[in-house]
Amino acid sequence: MNSKDSVETLQADKLIIRIYSDRETMGRQAAVEVSNKIKTLLSKQDNVRMIFAAAPSQSEFLSRLSEINGIDWSRITAFHMDEYIGLTQNAEQLFGNYLNERIFNKINFEKVHYINSNPESLDGECGRYSALIDKAPIDIVCLGIGENGHLAFNDPHSADFDDPRLVKVVELDELCRQQQVNDKCFSLLEDVPERAITLTIPALISAGSLFIVVPGGQKANAVYDTVNGEIKTGCPASILRKHKNALLFLDRDSASKLI
């Protein structure tokens, strides 16, 4: 990391927090950290398995990551961590389509595994994707934090730190759905699907390394609760403080209640 770009470094339990002057700098430095981890892993093992979040908060990071040279993407298998249920295959709001545009179609991954938003059986799709996730350890998860503190689509009412499942169907709470409108992904709340398929919290935190990218003032309360609140499902992201190798990237706006 180029320390001159860092405004401040904090720590909450095991979680390392780096605060940057602006969103672009934050995204660039997150991409550098992730690329360095990928290169280190590829120097020691044949393949790397990664899970990506899909949200406007990830745009700068994904753009920068896709431009970094020296990564053998042909040895990397990619997953995404959640998907709406019921949207048509060409819907721009589908997370698979978002990631296709920003990274999956830009570089030559060994394999990209997609969650099917319209499966014949939801239980069957959860089982299929769970088997893919469980096939080998996940090395890296690149994720964000929701305005309600969610990780993937594990909202406070459905989050379970000890969930026995790797993938499940969830009902999205209204704050989560409103965030999709706030992010301009949907025009109206009623347009936002009410259900989704998501990786569970145990599936996410089982990874060797977590890189959490959270810009914007609308995330300031969730960031504060993540860092300073109790570790409980009322703020699902608080569990990040227990992970042995988690790095949280913030800009001044998202860190405004911390500094």
Q: pLDDT of 202-218, one tens digit each? A: 999 999 999 999 999 99
Q: Three-class SS of residue 104?
A: helix
pLDDT of residue 1: 42
pLDDT tier at 259, thresholds 50, 70, 90: confident
Q: For 113-132, what is the mean pLDDT?
A: 97
pLDDT tens for 11-66 read 999 999 999 999 999 999 999 999 999 999 999 999 999 999 999 999 999 999 99
pLDDT digits (tens, 9 = 90+) for 124-154: 999 999 999 999 999 999 999 999 999 999 9
CA 33 to chain centre: 15
Domain boundaries, the chain: 8-251
pLDDT of residue 7: 74
pLDDT score at 169:
98
Domain 8-251 has CATH 3.40.50.1360: yes
Separation of alpha carbons 165 and 200, rounded Å: 7
pLDDT at residue 164 in the model:
98
Place of tokens 């969610």: 150
With a pLDDT cut of 90, the percent of the chain lying above it is 97
State the pairing for strand pair 15-20/6-12. Answer: antiparallel
Q: Is 92 left (phi over 0), alpha (psi -120 to 50) or beta?
A: alpha
Q: pLDDT at residue 220 above 70?
A: yes
Interval 170-205: pLDDT, tens: 999 999 999 999 999 999 999 999 999 999 999 999
Supply the pLDDT for residue 6: 58
Two tokens, residue 222? 């969730």
Q: Could you give the CA distance from residue 201 to residue 143 in angstroms, rounded to a whole number? A: 12
Q: Enumerate residues 6+ apart whose C-beta is below 8 A from 92.
A: 98
Q: Measure CA 10 to chain center.
A: 21
Q: And the tokens for 161? A: 């730190």
3-state secondary structure of 258: coil
pTM, to two decimals: 0.96
Token output for 255: 């860190």
Q: Angle, to 10 degrees, between the axis of helix 23-42 and the axis of helix 59-67?
A: 50
